[in-house]
């Protein structure tokens, strides 16, 4: 089985199991369309043929037909047993992770995904980059509520649960970009908890991995910060144009006085930004909720520097 | 009214508001329920229209994400707990169960009235929660989100908890009534099939609802005392909540659909003037569904991280529960064979039930099969499937029943022309709204999304237009039904030529149901032996 | 109504005879008891799951419960069930004064149960053996002992509420007995309250070993 081109119902499929899932889907679709057509035909035919004409009369006593009843019990039973086995087979294939799979750690939190490549030490946010034709195993957990990792193009989905690991694997078969969704309702920005899965060639992947495990060398600190502002998903809550979000806008924030919800005040300087990134719970700016997760461990020293440098430029 | 002296019936005898508020008459309690659930239906419907309006375009149209999350939660909670669970059993069931078995009332009239006021009390909590920071958890209240969110989870869960008792008392009352109150000669196999369906429903209400009660109670403990049972940070397990919740809520969907199936059996038999095909198969498939429904809750959790073995067992049992529903559909269609079918409005609803419920049932197969469920779980496909079964199934059956028994309940006929127009609008609007959602879902659109990617826009817009057609249908229906109460033509005692006992008394029935206690002279569907001419067409 | 002959005052209009009314009440009560069992069933389920996950913690935590008070309460409740049964028997024999006596005895025993429970609870409040975030006791080994106390308070608390409900029901039939509403012909409410009281007793009989006698 391989990738599928997609249909009215199914999107383009780019993983090894997409074909299996689509086969099951199409089998059910075709058999149930036939059954549905028979049912509708029966309703319409009988309705026309036996509509009341003229005076009401007694109708015949037809209340049993053992043969007919056996037929319409046994045939659907056989059909659903077939469907059950087909579905179960493909499901087993989804569940058994190949031994040589590359492992990536996935963390879901309100409201972004972060991916960690343990061997290379690289981390990304909302963008999962994987090589083509190689099994990839995702080891997932959540920092807060339940999320669900869903890539329609790969036909995979798995809940991501706090304090527990769940697993899922896939092997991409077509180069390209695939949508990634959170499928378990998780609050305000549930519908923004989306991202991309980028399938690239083996070589491109190696290059990418090498580049992203570096800390923006060959780039100015503030340019690197601008890149991180997007890739670490700061932009989901903090705007740079002054518009309101879940967190204060970054525009012109540097050097300003902020008031916290307990009434105290502070000046936004390098140390304040650093503390707000690594320990966001200590002080909450008045008017905002305590929802920002800590980025301790998610950002390297140079990356924090870069973000501070970038925020300084936003006047 | 043209008669000089209006005939005494349950509506005008006794008189005065007190006689309604403290009534012990099952018919009046049924009417009170009918009024309440209709109000709930329109409230939930307004939420539904707002949801669709917001989803017309991606991004913000008329409300922010938090408001949207609250509105879809309220739509679900109001429609399920306030409308669909009590709809057929508590309103139509209350009114017609005693009539159908020739009894003067249900076994415990006081408990019946209590259950209505418990319903009102629970609903008040639910409505109160709307004004105190409406809950935003989805009607499923999944932990740990529901223990963390700042919105008013406690009033809504407390409301659902209280509504549960109302449901339990109704179920208990019906079980005892069906066992003990049948008139002499009415054996189990001479019961109308609606009664069998109410019986199977009542069993689920009594067995499953207490478990929901304790689950919601634990959730409230969790929020108030931080007990930690569902909190992963304190050694608890959030997935355990899902097990508890679905142990009730899966059987609960059969609380919603089984009574609807019962109504369809009555409608198909009456309007094709033919003995129902496979009486026992229909009766026992209701009980079979009720039984298996307790063993399939795990199919809501195929991607929650439960073991592959559990997933396999739940998937298999899920397919088993589909067979009895299929058998019912085949029996109904075969009943049409050699009948004398007349297409009054209730029959049109029954036929659209067959059409829509078949789609709802068949799409359930996609969700029962493990591999396809992984892809479709928590997408619009599930939303569409659920609405095809609940709205295309239960609501269509409810509307069929409402139009069938309206002349009996109020003694008035509604306008035939407008009722057909409304029926067509509801049928077309429903399909436009929800069929598009099957495609949205299988293309990968997740449910409970405030915003969406551009590629989903055309289908979302299509679905939103459907919701307007649907809304128009319901508004027309409300108008001609209310109109009929005041200006409707007087209905005869047996407008459709039915053979069950409710047609053997006045329209509307007198205070104690029957002037002369009816006798079992024929079975409920003996259209091969007894001929009663239809008077209203 | 046409049937004006021998129509007892306690027969409701919608029943055709006393027998049907009694049978219905009894059957309804049993169905209601079933729902009560299922309500507790959810808690028993939670108990089973958490005990299976943390067998050692449950064992360690159960030692904190006062087995003497638990045992005393078990005997108190069993005795109250006996007095409740005797009150029904007295009613059957038309001995109204005896019935009143036994009902009062049942109420007294229920009060003793609650008083003992009060001492148990207040001790636990005092040392901080409480559910969830209120747990502050440190003497129990094992992870998350607060879960045990969450379940302990959940189960005994809900049971305690049922004791209170049962007591109110007993007060209600007591008043009606005093007002001579019941006789050897008609005493269904007393019988129903008796059934309910036996269930309350029975649930305790299950709670006691599960919570106090682990291991």
Closest CA to C213 of C100, C2, C32, C66: C66
pLDDT in tens, C70-94: 999 999 999 999 999 999 999 999 9
Cβ atoms of residues A113 and A122 within 8 Å: no
pLDDT of residue C3: 44
Q: Which CATH number fits the domain that encloses residue B102?
A: 1.20.210.10
Mutate to test the interface with B, among C134, C150, C154, C203 (most CBs of B within 10 A): C150
Asked if the structure places residue B319 within a domain, the reply is yes
Q: What's the CA gap between B2 and B64, in Å, rounded? A: 55
B239 contacts in C (CB within 8 Å)?
A: none
A142, A109 in Cβ contact below 8 A? yes
Let me know: does B71 contact B78? Beta carbons within 8 Å. Answer: no
DSSP assignment of A74-141: HHHHHHHHHHHHHHHHHHHHHHS--TTPEEEEEEEETTEEEEEETTTTEEEESEEEEETTSEEEEEEE
pLDDT at position A216: 66
- Flag whether the ipTM exceeds 0.90: yes
Q: Which residues of A touch B374 (CB under 8 A)?
A: 21, 91, 94, 155-157
A160 contact B CB<8A? no
Dist CA B51 CA B56 (whole Å): 9
Strand-pair category, A112-117 with A102-109: antiparallel
Core vs surface per residue B64-102: b (16+ CB within 10 A) or e:
ebbbbbbbbbbbbbbbbbbbbbbbbbbbbbbbbbbbbbb
Q: How many domains does chain B have?
A: 1
Distance from CA of C142 to the nearest CA of B (A): 11
In a domain, B520, yes or no: no
Contact B75, B44 (CB under 8 A): yes
Chain C: list its partners (3+ Cβ pairs within 8 Å). B
- Would you say residue A69 has pLDDT above 90? yes
Domains of chain C: 25-212 (1.20.120.80)
Q: Residues A143-164: what's their mean pLDDT?
A: 94
What is residue A160's DSSP assignment?
A: E
Q: Which residue has the tokens 């405030």?
A: B450
- Rounded average pLDDT per 10-residue block, chain B, 537 residues: 63 88 95 96 96 94 92 95 95 96 94 96 92 89 88 90 95 96 93 96 94 89 84 83 90 94 97 94 93 92 90 93 93 95 95 97 95 96 97 97 96 95 97 96 95 94 96 97 94 92 93 89 92 75
Does residue B367 fall inside a structural domain?
Answer: yes
Residue B525 covered by a domain:
no
Confidence band, pLDDT 50/70/90 cuts, at residue A304: confident
From the list A52, A69, A148, the residue facing B281 with the nearest CB is A69
Residue in chain C closest to B171 (alpha carbons) equals C31
Q: Encode pLDDT of A94-113 as tens digits.
A: 999 999 999 999 999 988 99
Residue by residue, DSSP assigns A197-240 as: EEEE-HHHHHHHHHHHHS--TTS-HHHHHHHHHHHTTGGGT--S
Of A21, A25, A92, the CB nearest to B308: A92
Q: Is residue B348 part of a domain?
A: yes
> Which of A189-193, A301-305, B57-61 shows the lowest per-residue confidence on average (mean pLDDT)?
A301-305
Residue C1 scores a pLDDT above 60: no
Residues whose CB falls within 8 Å of the CB of residue B279, separated by 6 or more in sequence, listed in order? A63, B189, B193, B525
B533 in any annotated domain: no
Cβ within 8 Å, pair A72-B323: no
What is residue B3's predicted lDDT score, i.e. its pLDDT?
45
d(CA B474, CA B49): 12
Per mean pLDDT, which range of B232-241, B376-385, C42-51, C99-108 is the poorest?
A: B232-241
Q: Which residues on B lie below 8 Å from A153 (Cβ)? A: 444
Residue B259 distance to chain C (closest CA, Å): 20
Q: Among candidates B27, B20, B3, which has minimal Cα distance to B513? A: B27
pLDDT confidence of residue B447:
96
Domain with B376 in it: 24-504
Pairing of strands A135-142, A127-131: unpaired
Q: Does B307 touch chain A (CB under 8 A)?
A: no
* Three-state DSSP class for residue B446: strand
**A315 contacts A255 by C-beta, under 8 angstroms:** no
Least trusted range by pLDDT, from A19-33, A177-191, B146-160: B146-160
- Put simply, the answer to whether B244 touches C20 (Cβ < 8 Å) is no
Q: Do C131 and B173 touch (CB under 8 A)?
A: no
What residues in A contact B338, CB-CB < 8 Å? 50, 59-60, 62
Of A36, A94, A148, nearest in space to B370 by CA: A94
Closest-CA residue of B relative to C45 is B244
- In angstroms, rounded to a whole number, what is the distance separating the alpha carbons of residues B193 and B160? 29
Residue-range domains of chain A with CATH: 18-95 (1.10.287.90), 102-213 (2.60.40.420), 221-313 (1.10.760.10)
User: Which pLDDT score is estimated for A214?
Assistant: 65
Among B residues 147-206, those touching chain C with beta carbons less than 8 Å apart? 168, 172-173, 175-176, 179-181, 206
On the question of pLDDT at A290 being above 80, the answer is no
B497 in any annotated domain? yes
Mean pLDDT of A48-54: 91
Q: How many helices (H) and strands (E) does chain A have?
A: 6, 12
Residue A3, pLDDT > 60, answer no
Question: Would you say residue C4 has pLDDT above 50?
Answer: no
Q: What is the pLDDT of residue A266?
A: 86
For residue C2, what pLDDT is reported?
42
Inside any domain, residue B513:
no
Q: What is the pLDDT of residue B236?
A: 82
* Cβ within 8 Å of B, C 46-105: 46, 49-50, 54
What pLDDT, on the 0 to 100 scale, is given for residue A2?
A: 45
Using CB atoms and an 8 Å cut-off, which of residues 505-534 of chain B contact chain C? 512
Average pLDDT over residues A189-212: 91
Using CA atoms, how far apart are residues B82 and B327, in angstroms rounded to an integer?
30
Q: What percent of chain C lies above the pLDDT cut of 90?
A: 61
pLDDT band at residue A262 using 50, 70 and 90 as cut-offs: confident
Contact B338 A59 (CB under 8 A): yes
> Is residue C179 pLDDT above 90, yes or no?
yes
- By three-state DSSP, how is residue A170 classified? strand
Could you give the count of Cα atoms lying within 13 Å of A35 in the half-sphere of its Cβ? 24
Confidence of residue C101 (pLDDT cuts 50, 70, 90): very high
Contact status, residue B210 vs residue B252, Cβ threshold 8 Å: no
Asked if B413 and B407 count as a contact pair (C-beta separation under 8 A), the reply is: yes
Among A158-167, B334-343, C137-146, whose mean pLDDT is lowest?
A: C137-146
Contact A152, A199 (CB under 8 A): no
Smallest Cα distance from B180 to chain C, Å: 6
Q: What angle do CA B379, B384, B387 make, to 5 degrees?
A: 130
The encoded tokens of residue A252 equal 């012109």
């Amino acid at each position: 089985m391989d990738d599928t081109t997609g249909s009215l119902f199914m999107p383009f499929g780019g993983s090894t199991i997409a074909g299996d899932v689509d086969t099951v889907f199409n089998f059910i679709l075709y058999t149930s369309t036939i059954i549905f057509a028979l049912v509708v035909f029966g309703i319409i035919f009988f309705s026309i043929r036996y509509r009341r004409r003229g005076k009401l009369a007694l109708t015949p006593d037809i209340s049993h037909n053992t043969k007919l009843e056996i037929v319409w019990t046994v045939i659907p039973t056989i059909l659903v047993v077939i469907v059950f086995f087909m579905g179960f087979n493909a499901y087993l294939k989804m569940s058994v992770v190949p031994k040589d799979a590359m492992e990536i750690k996935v963390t879901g939190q309100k409201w972004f995904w972060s991916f960690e490549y343990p061997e290379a030490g690289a981390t990304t946010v909302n963008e999962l980059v994987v090589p083509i034709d190689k099994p990839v195993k995702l080891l997932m957990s959540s920092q807060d509520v339940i999320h669900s990792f869903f890539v329609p193009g790969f036909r995979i989905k798995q809940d991501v649960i706090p304090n527990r690991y769940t697993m899922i694997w896939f092997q991409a078969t077509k180069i390209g970009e695939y949508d990634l969704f959170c499928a378990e309702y998780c609050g305000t920005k549930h519908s923004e908890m989306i991202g991309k899965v980028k399938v690239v060639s083996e070589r491109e992947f190696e290059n990418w991995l090498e580049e992203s495990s570096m800390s923006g060398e060959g780039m100015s600190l503030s340019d690197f910060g601008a890149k991180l502002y997007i890739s670490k998903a700061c932009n989901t809550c903090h705007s740079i144009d002054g518009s309101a979000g879940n967190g204060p806008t970054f525009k012109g924030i540097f050097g300003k006085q902020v008031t916290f919800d307990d009434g105290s005040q502070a000046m936004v300087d390098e140390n304040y930004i650093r503390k707000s990134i690594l320990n966001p719970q200590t002080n909450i700016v008045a008017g905002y909720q305590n929802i920002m997760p800590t980025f301790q461990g998610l950002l390297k020293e140079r990356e924090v520097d870069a973000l501070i440098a970038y925020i300084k430029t936003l006047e | 009214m043209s008669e000089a002296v209006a005939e005494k019936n349950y509506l005008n005898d006794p008189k005065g508001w007190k006689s309604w508020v403290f009534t012990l008459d099952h018919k009046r309690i049924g009417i009170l329920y009918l009024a309440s659930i209709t109000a709930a239906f329109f409230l939930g419907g307004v939420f539904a229209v707002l949801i669709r309006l917001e989803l017309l375009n991606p991004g913000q149209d008329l409300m922010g994400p938090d408001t949207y999350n609250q509105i879809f939660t309220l739509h679900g909670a109001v429609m399920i707990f306030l409308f669909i669970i009590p709809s057929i059993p508590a309103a139509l069931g209350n009114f017609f169960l005693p009539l159908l078995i020739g009894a003067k009332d249900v076994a415990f009239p006081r408990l019946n009235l209590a259950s209505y006021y418990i319903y009102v009390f629970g609903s008040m909590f639910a409505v109160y929660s709307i004004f105190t920071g409406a809950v935003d958890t989805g009607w499923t209240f999944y932990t740990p989100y529901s223990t963390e969110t700042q919105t008013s989870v406690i009033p809504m869960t407390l409301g659902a908890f209280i509504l549960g008792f109302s449901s339990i008392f109704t179920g208990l009352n019906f079980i005892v009534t069906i066992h003990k109150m049948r008139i002499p000669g009415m054996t189990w196999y001479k019961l109308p099939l609606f009664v069998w369906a109410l019986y199977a429903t009542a069993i689920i209400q009594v067995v499953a609802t207490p478990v929901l009660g304790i689950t919601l109670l634990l959730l409230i403990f969790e929020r108030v005392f931080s007990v930690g049972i569902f909190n992963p940070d304190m050694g608890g397990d959030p997935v355990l909540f899902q097990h508890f919740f679905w142990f009730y809520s899966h059987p609960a969907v059969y609380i919603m659909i089984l009574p609807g199936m019962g109504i369809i059996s009555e409608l198909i038999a009456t309007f094709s003037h033919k003995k129902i095909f496979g009486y026992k198969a229909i009766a026992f498939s209701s009980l079979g569904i009720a039984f298996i429904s307790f063993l399939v809750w795990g199919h809501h959790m195929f991607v929650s991280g439960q073991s592959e073995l559990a997933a396999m067992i739940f998937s298999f049992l899920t397919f088993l529960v589909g067979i009895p529903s299929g058998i019912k559909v085949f029996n109904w269609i075969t009943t049409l064979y050699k009948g004398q079918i007349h297409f009054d409005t209730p029959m049109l609803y029954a036929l659209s039930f067959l059409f829509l419920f078949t789609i709802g049932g068949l799409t359930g197969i996609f969700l029962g099969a493990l591999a396809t469920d992984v892809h479709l779980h928590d997408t619009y496909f599930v939303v569409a499937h659920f609405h095809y079964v609940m709205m295309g199934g239960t609501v269509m059956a409810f509307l069929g029943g409402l139009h069938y028994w309206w002349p009996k309940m109020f003694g008035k006929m509604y306008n035939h022309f407008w009722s057909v127009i409304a029926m067509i609008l509801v049928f077309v609007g429903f399909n436009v709204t929800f069929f598009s959602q099957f495609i949205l879902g299988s293309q990968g659109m997740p449910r409970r999304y405030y915003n969406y990617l551009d590629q989903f826009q055309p289908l979302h817009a299509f679905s939103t237009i459907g919701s307007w057609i649907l809304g128009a249908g319901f508004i027309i229906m409300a108008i001609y039904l209310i109109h009929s109460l005041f200006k409707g033509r007087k209905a005869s005692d047996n407008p459709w030529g039915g053979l069950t006992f409710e047609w053997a008394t006045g329209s509307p029935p007198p205070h104690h149901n029957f002037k002369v206690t009816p006798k079992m002279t024929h079975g409920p569907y003996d259209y091969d032996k007894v001929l009663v001419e239809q008077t209203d067409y | 109504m046409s049937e004006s002959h021998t129509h007892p005052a306690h027969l409701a209009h919608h029943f055709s005879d006393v027998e049907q009314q009694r049978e219905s009440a009894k059957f309804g009560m049993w169905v209601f008891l079933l729902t009560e069992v299922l309500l507790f069933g959810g808690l028993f389920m939670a108990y089973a799951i958490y005990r299976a996950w943390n067998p050692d913690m449950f064992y360690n935590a159960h030692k904190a419960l006062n087995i003497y008070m638990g045992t005393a309460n078990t005997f108190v409740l069993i005795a109250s069930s006996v007095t409740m049964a005797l009150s029904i028997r007295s009613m059957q024999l038309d001995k109204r004064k005896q019935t009143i006596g036994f009902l009062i005895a049942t109420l007294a025993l229920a009060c003793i149960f609650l008083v003992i429970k009060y001492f148990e609870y207040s001790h636990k409040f005092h040392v901080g053996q409480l559910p969830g975030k209120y747990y502050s006791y440190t003497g129990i080994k094992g992870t998350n002992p607060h879960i045990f106390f969450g379940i302990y308070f959940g189960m005994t608390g809900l049971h305690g509420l049922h004791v209170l409900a049962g007591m109110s029901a007993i007060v209600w039939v007591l008043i009606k007995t005093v007002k001579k509403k019941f006789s050897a012909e008609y005493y269904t409410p007393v019988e129903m309250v008796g059934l309910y009281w036996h269930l309350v007793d029975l649930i305790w009989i299950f709670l006691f070993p599960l919570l106090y006698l682990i291991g």
